[in-house]
Structures are given as structure tokens and as C-alpha cells.
Structure 1
Amino acid sequence: MKGIVLFVTVVLLAYGIHYFWVLLPIVSGYGAKHICSSVFIADFSEKHRREDVDTFPMKYATFNINYTDLSVSSSMLGFAPTKAIYRNGLGATLINELTEEEVRNQKFNVEIMSDINQDKIPWPMGDQMNDEVFPSHINKIQLEDAINDLFIEKDPANLIRTRAVVVLYDGRLISEKYASGFSKKSKFLGWSMTKSIINALIGILVKDKKLNIDESAPVPEWNNSNDPRHSITIRHLLQQQSGLDFKEDYYAKSDVTEMLFLRSDMGAFAASHPLKSKPGTQCYYSSGSTNILSRLIRHTVGENEYHSFPYRRLFSKLGMNSFVMEVDPSGTFVGSSYSWGTARDWARFGLLYLNNGYYNNEQILTEEWIKQSVTLGGVTQYGQHGLHFWLNTGANNDSHTRKFPNAPADMFCASGFNGQNIFIIPSKKLVIVRFGLTRTPEEEYGANQFLKNVISSINL
């Protein structure tokens, strides 16, 4: 009996050591990349940088910030050394597979957003607010109470750490609030809200007639008509129905963590995966699909245009002058996860969709594209996915199956890790943005009740 116990103990110990040994480079890489972005893009305080990585086992990582070469080096108890570098217009990039010299020597036509004072430009292209009377049919006190409540920590064991909230009504910014240390100038990481940025970029190319989302996705690895992946369309990728055998698990070494923290060409890595199911028959959330799309955009617009494309065709047209999309070591935007902007700029992005693609006297996205983006995909029976947006339709329009039952069925949202959200509610003329650092189960910060409280402040 003692021998069996000893054997089991040794096996479990060996498994544990192997598990953490495999995980160390991923944890170290996450820390180096995030701290690099936090320092050189967002200019976070040391307090907030540490708060972002204060989880096990990352809290035991060591970070060295080099302000001379704009880099951050990280290791875990002296093991798994990693390095991320910052480049203006390209953000922070984790060095993987390619050497640092190879990455630094890359030459791209980068678009640097003009440094204009938006305080003197009227909203929404700028930050100057009109001196209009507050809408009489909105209960201002009730609205502010709803927002303030999101900044109150009710459970010390499960902090929600709301950092920013912005509320737009009928295109007008009617309320906003920031946690201590943050302001309207602070840049926030959208995490998977970046996926919805990819939706817009694909939509622009569809409007330009450069892409047809119902044709086979022009991915080099799938060009052969005999390849079963040749039947994957851009729509399949946007609806999370590609059928690729890609595992999305952030708490182990999986396809998604290997892609984000160990690979140089994330889109190529994701595209290399075989099929697990027939395209269009199963829905499975995959960041790999988004990075395939980001690489596809690169191939479509070409090298001379790619790195300026989001800025020229989207961000500058919306007044999103703070925005930064980050690239992988190969130079492709990490469309699944890495973009930074102020809460107001993320709200501007939401306003584009509230206005059916029309913004500042220009039809940037077609109304048909917006309609398709917020239409439930064929096999998403639980009422979740449109085209890289989350929906609130519920199965068979049943409110009991909605993720946010207190919000209308026409609400759709962009959603990111740790509780980042843009809620767009056309029937209520609302765009609601929330940023925070929420690590409670399912990143629940009370969003459903918060939405109810905001909506009920509007008396129509």
C-alpha cells in the first residue's frame, strides 16, 4: 500500500513539475508583453501595472523595464526569460522564433496618428462637448447612481476593479466616470474587443468589393481545392464556425496560448491546424480564426497599405486618435487581442455601429454589413455570435437564455478578457463602455444589473 501511495505521489509531483515547466514561458511572455504595452503605450503607474499581473503564478515574475531601448524583459524565478519590445505605431511585440534584431530591422509603412488637440473639436470627432441642456427624459441622478455603483467594491474577496465607464445616448456623451489614476486620456486594452475591430476592417474591404465573405477564404495553406479546409469561408471565420481543431484554453498550454506567447506568425500558426468538424456545422470561439482574418487582410490590401489601413480607413474617420493596434513578430496585427484606446475612442467605435455604419457624414460601413454583423449565425443555437460580435438574442428569442436578460434582445456587444465591454443597444439609442480588471468567475462585475439600471434611467 505504501508503495502505491509513493508511486502516485511521484507521478503527481512529476506531472505538476512538467505542467508548470511547460507553462512558465507562457506566463513569462504574457507578463513581458503586457507590461511593455502598459508602460510604453498606456503609461500606467507602477501600482496599476503590478495590479494587472498580480495573479498566481505571474506574481512571482521579475520584470526589467529598459527605457533606453523601449523593452521589457521577464523571467519566472530566473527561468523562461522573455523579452518584448516597443516600436512606435506598432505597439509592443513579444520576441518569439525571430531574433530581436530581425524584428527591429523590419520596415513597414506605419501610420502615426496626428497629435491634434481634440479638446477644441466638437464631439464625436473631438472631445469638446456642446452646452446642450441635459435630456429631460433621462433621470440624471439615477444614471449617475448606476455608474457609481459599478465602482463600489461589495466583496473584498472578489474585486471588480472598474476603471472607466462611458455612456452615450443618441450619439451624445451624457456621462462618464474613471477610477483613481485614470482619466479620459487613459488608454485601455480591449483584449478580445479587438475582434470587433477586425469585423470593421473586413466590412470596409467588402464595401470596396475586395472580399466576398461567402467565398472560400483566400488563405495560402488552404488554396488546394482538395484540401478540406478550402471550403472554409470568411463568414465561417467571422461566425466562429470554421471547424478548425483549435483549442481555446487560457489556463494551460493550448493552441491559443502557444499562438499568443510562443509563435512569430500567429495567423499562419492558426491556419496550419486541421479540421475537426465540417465548416459551418459547429460554433467554437477561436482567437485563431481572428488572426487568420487579420493575416488575410494583410494579403488583401498589400504590404504598402496594410499597416496604415486601419488608421486611414477607420480610426482617423471616427476621431479615434488615441488608438494603437499591436503586431506579432511577423508584423501582422494581433486582431484577436491587442489594441489600445481611450474609453471615449472605444465609445466612438460603438457609435459607428449604433449609426448603422454612418459617421461624420460618411457611410464607412454599409447598412447591410451592420445587419449581417448582428444577425445570429446558423448554428449558434444559444444566441451568441454574429460576425465577431456577441448577440443578446437568446435561443429562439427566449429571454431566459440571454446572457443579459435585463437588456433588450437587439443589444449586441464587443467583449474582452477581465470584463471589457462595448454594449450597443439600438432600441434605446445607447452605447455603454466599461473597462476594468475583473477576475471573478466568468468576469462577472454585475453587468446585467448595471445595464438594467442604466436603461431604466431613460424614460421614453
Structure 2
Amino acid sequence: MPLRTTPLIALALAATSLAACGGSGPAEEPPLSEEALAAVKDDPGAPTKALARESDQLFTLDGLGDTRALVVLHGGEIAVERYGEGYGPQTRFISWSMAKTVTAVMIGMLVADGQLRLDAPAPVPRWQRTGDPRAEITLRQLLQMRSGLEHTEAGDPPYESSEVRMLFLDGRDDMADYATAQPLEAEPGSRFEYSSNTTVILADIAARALTESTNPDARRKAVADYLQARLFGPLGMTSAVPEFDRAGTLIGGSLIHANARDWAKFGEMLRNKGSVKGEQLVPRQWVEEMLEPSPASPHYGLQTWLNRPLPDGEEHPLFPDRAPHSAFSAIGHMGQYIFVSPSQKLTVVRLGHSDAPERKAMLQQLADIIELYPAG
């Protein structure tokens, strides 16, 4: 007599068959390491485990380069802090071009002091000779990278780059002299061209506004004292060390050193429109001006990158498709970022070393962290 299969037995057999065919559902994610969990603080403002995992992957995934520091502030409090091997809270990291945004803040303070005028011709003595078309270049145009001066930021080979020549070759002893000597290649104001040399011109303008002396030591002291008294000191950026060339000009487009927490303090000040603990350190109007898109570049303000969309097909240095368009960033060579998103109450500092292909992947991982925070 044949055996009869009951419905219950049939269901069990079917389940066994499905399991044998690999129908066991999605694989579980690997457990988080103690280091990954320890990096996330109490009440981080986002799901703790998700934040720990995405932050961990910024350090551990292949193809992203070398992340050496990550600090995430939410609402002014540290949500995540982690360092790569050999680095820590006291490590001073080079700014590279994040320094440009610091220089813009210094210029804004001098404008507020009445020492400079934003829409007046830039006070560069060399350009004031009769008939020199560079006399039309305004301070605003320099800040927005649309001076029209001849420039190649990244040459191939590298020694053909105007920036490399200024920093390391024939311009290194007096960088402002080298930068201001360049002729026009376009009408001032007509087009955007990113230029580290332009920021050195701004730093030289700041020195001239602060002292009439041409003595390098006097110029160096005037700018360093001003930055300390008006910015670094009140912000509590105790680790900040600016570098100067032999002529006493701040290398304001490339070389300021500070630890990750201090870079986060700078970003947090900008998130709060220039206010620090209730004190208006930088005029609110100036910070708002820094975040206004240039007529020649919707993704650039005053020495500051904006998370605004570009026309189709143009590569963006940030990720306007994954974060609010009100967000902005100071960006430095090889993957230094102070990313600020006011509507998410976020300031994110990532410091490290990533080449161009790695930087694209690393930015998407950074966006994975930022997307965990809702916009207000």
C-alpha cells in the first residue's frame, strides 16, 4: 500500500528543497569591529550601527585611498572620530587647497574692517601702471577665480604647471611677484579658472593691508598675528600653523597645517554663519557672500566649493545628487575635505591621500555617511 504524504510533510519537504537550492535569503553583514563601534559616540544623530559601518568602510574598503582622519560633527557635537594607523587627535594635517577658504575668511575680515573693498580694483601695485588692463581686475573676481590671468593649474608634465612653478621652482622665493606678473589671457570676470596662484595674490593683498613694510619678517608677523588674534585664537584652533614664503607672503592657497578637530572647528564656524559660541567672529553677510555662486561657475563661491548642480556632462568635485544643494566644502589636493551641510547640522572632515580615481569612489563612500543624516 503506497504511503500518503500529508500536507504538513509536503510543506516541510518543500522547505528543505528550497534550502538546498540556496533560497536562504540575503547574507548577513559581517560583524563590526570594536574599532568601528568605538569611533561612534553616544547619540550621534544617525543609526549607530549604520554610521559605524559606513565610517569603517571609509578606512577599510579597497580603492578609496588612505583615510587618515575622519571627524563628523552633528549639531556641534562629535558624532564620529577615527584615525588611521600612525595618526591621532594631535596630528597636524596639511590643508593643501582647504587653505583657500581660510584666506577668503581673512579677506572678509579685512573688508569688514574697512581695509579692502570687494568690488574695487584689486590693490596690486604692479597693475596700477597706466594702460595695464589688469588694473580692471576686482577683489571679487580674484576671490571667484575669474581674474582672467594666464594660468595652468595642473600641467603635464607637472613642472609645466603654473602652480608647481610658483610653489617649487622659479616663483618659490616670492610667490606673489610670480603670480602678479602673469599677463591676461581672458577678459577679467569672463570665465572661471581655478588657480592657487590667485589665492597667493589675495594673501599678498592682505599683507599689504596689514603693514606698509616690505620686510619679510614684518609681513609674516603682521599676517600671523592677525590670523591668531581674529580667527585661530577665538576659534580655539590651537594647532594651526600657517606657512610663508621667503618674501613673507602667506602661502594662502596651499599650506596651513592643523589637526582634524581644528579643521572641524573652522567648518563649524562657517556652518553657523561666522558665529562661535554666540560671538560673531566673521560677519554673517561675508559668509553668505562666500556661498553665493559666481556668475562664471555655479559650483564656486568665494574660494569655496558649492554643492550646486552643473550642466549635464560636467564633472562635479562634490555630490549634488546625494546631499543638499545648500552644502559646501573646502577641498584640498589628494582628498582633504571640510564638508558642511547646514540643513543637516553637519560638519564632516576627511583627511588622507587618494589619487583621482580613488577620490571619486571615496567621495561616494563619504556621501553614504552624509546620507544617514536627514535634512531639516
Q: Same fold (TM over 0.5)?
A: yes
Q: Equivalent residue of 1:215, what SS?
A: coil
Determine the structure 2 residue equivalent to 1:391.
306
Does the 8 Å contact 1:143/1:454 carry over to 2? no
Q: Distance in 2 between matches of 1:409 and 1:443?
A: 20
Q: Report 1:374-385 matches (<5 A).
A: 374-380=291-297, 383-385=298-300
Between the aligned partners of 2:175 and 2:274, the Cα distance in structure 1 is 29
Give how far 1:395 is off. 3.0
**Structure 1 unmatched ranges of 5 or more:** 1-131
In 1, Cα distance between the equivalents of 2:81 and 2:52?
9
- Distance in 2 (CA, whole Å) between partners of 1:280 and 1:178 is 42
Q: Report the TM-score when normalising by structure 1.
A: 0.67
CA contact (8 A) 1:143 1:457 kept: no
Match of residue 332 from structure 2: 416
- 1:89 aligned partner: none
Q: How does 1:357-376 map to 2 (within 5 A)?
A: 357-376=274-293
Which among 114, 125, 131 is matched to residue 226 of structure 1?
131
Q: Deviations over 1:292-312 (max 9, x none)?
A: 000110000114622311111
- Per-residue deviation at 1:441? 2.7
Distance in 1 (alpha carbons) for counterparts of 2:336 and 2:228: 22
Deviation at 1:174, TM superposition (A): 1.3
Which residue in the other structure is 2:347 paired with? 431
Alpha-carbon distance between aligned partners in 1 of 2:267 and 2:347, rounded to the nearest angstrom: 6
Cα distance in 2 for residues equivalent to 1:332 and 1:432? 30
Q: Is the 8 A contact 2:344 2:375 kept in 1?
A: no
Greater Rg over alpha carbons, structure: 2
Greater relative contact order (Cα < 8 A, sep 6+): 2
Q: 1:138 aligns with which of 41, 46, 71?
A: 46
Cross-structure match for 1:257: 164
Secondary structure in structure 1 of the residue aligned to 2:188: coil
Q: 1:199-250: per-residue Cα shift (whole Å, max 9, x none)? A: 1100111111211110000001111352100000111011000000122125
Residue 300 of structure 2 aligns to which amino acid in structure 1?
H
CA deviations 1:102-159 (Å, max 9, x no partner) are xxxxxxxxxxxxxxxxxxxxxxxxxxxxxx9625x5212211211111001324xxx6
Give the Å deviation of 1:176: 0.7
Secondary structure of residue in 1 paired with 2:247: coil
Q: Is the 8 A contact 1:419 1:444 kept in 2?
A: no
C-alpha distance in 1 between matches for 2:327 and 2:314: 15
Q: Offset of 1:447 from its aligned partner?
A: 1.1
CA shift digits 1:22-61 (9 cap, x unpaired): xxxxxxxxxxxxxxxxxxxxxxxxxxxxxxxxxxxxxxxx
Q: CA deviation at 1:388?
A: 0.2
Q: CA deviation at 1:365?
A: 1.2
Partner in structure 1 of residue 32 of structure 2:
none
Task: Show the counterpart of 2:178.
Answer: 269
Does the residue aligned with 1:162 lie in a helix, a strand or coil? strand
Q: Structure 1 335/442 Cα, relative in aligned 2: closer, same or farther at 3 Å?
A: farther
Q: Deviations over 1:413-444 (max 9, x none)?
A: 00011100000101101000000111243733
Please give the alpha-carbon distance, in whole angstroms, between the structure 2 residues aligned to 1:175 and 1:358.
23
Match of 2:75 among 159, 162, 170: 170
User: What does residue 298 of structure 1 align with?
Assistant: 207
Q: Do structure 1's residue 320 and structure 2's residue 237 form an aligned pair?
A: yes
* Kept after mapping to 2: 8 A contact 1:229/1:275: yes
AA partner of residue 432 (structure 1): V
Q: Residues 352 and 358 of structure 1 are in contact (CA less than 8 Å); yes or no, is this contact kept in structure 2?
A: yes
- Structure 1 residues 314 and 410, CA gap change in structure 2 (3 angstroms): same
Give the AA of the match of 1:387: L
1:1-400 mapped onto 2 (5 Å cutoff):
134=43, 137-155=45-63, 160-250=65-155, 251-262=158-169, 263=171, 264-302=173-211, 303=218, 305-380=222-297, 383-395=298-310
- Structure 2 gaps, min length 5: 1-40, 212-217
TM-aligned CA distance change 1:242 to 1:282, over 3 Å: same
Q: C-alpha separation between the residues in 2 aligned to 1:321 and 1:432?
A: 19
Deviations 1:384-413 (A, max 9, x none): 2100001111137x8997540211111110
Q: Sort the Cα spacing of 1:170 and 1:260 in 2 relative to 1 into closer, same or farther, 3 A.
A: same
Indicate conservation of the 8 Å contact 1:142/1:457, yes or no: no
**Most deviating of 225-234 and 441-450:** 441-450
**Distance in 1 (alpha carbons) for counterparts of 2:374 and 2:136:** 47
Counterpart-to-counterpart distance in 2, 1:400 and 1:334: 30
Distance across 1 between alignment mates of 2:202 and 2:295 = 20
> Corresponding residue for 1:53?
none
For 1:296, what is the secondary structure of its paired residue?
A: helix
Q: How far does residue 458 in structure 1 lie from its aligned partner after superposition? A: 4.6
Q: Distance in 2 between matches of 1:286 and 1:364?
A: 27
CA RMSD of aligned residues (A): 2.0
User: Would the alpha carbon gap of residues 424 and 399 (structure 1) be closer, same or farther in structure 2, given more than 3 Å must change?
Assistant: farther
Specify whether residues 222 and 400 from structure 1 end up closer, same or farther in structure 2 by C-alpha distance, changes over 3 A only: closer
Tell me how far apart the structure 2 counterparts of residues 375 and 385 of structure 1 sit (CA, whole Å): 8
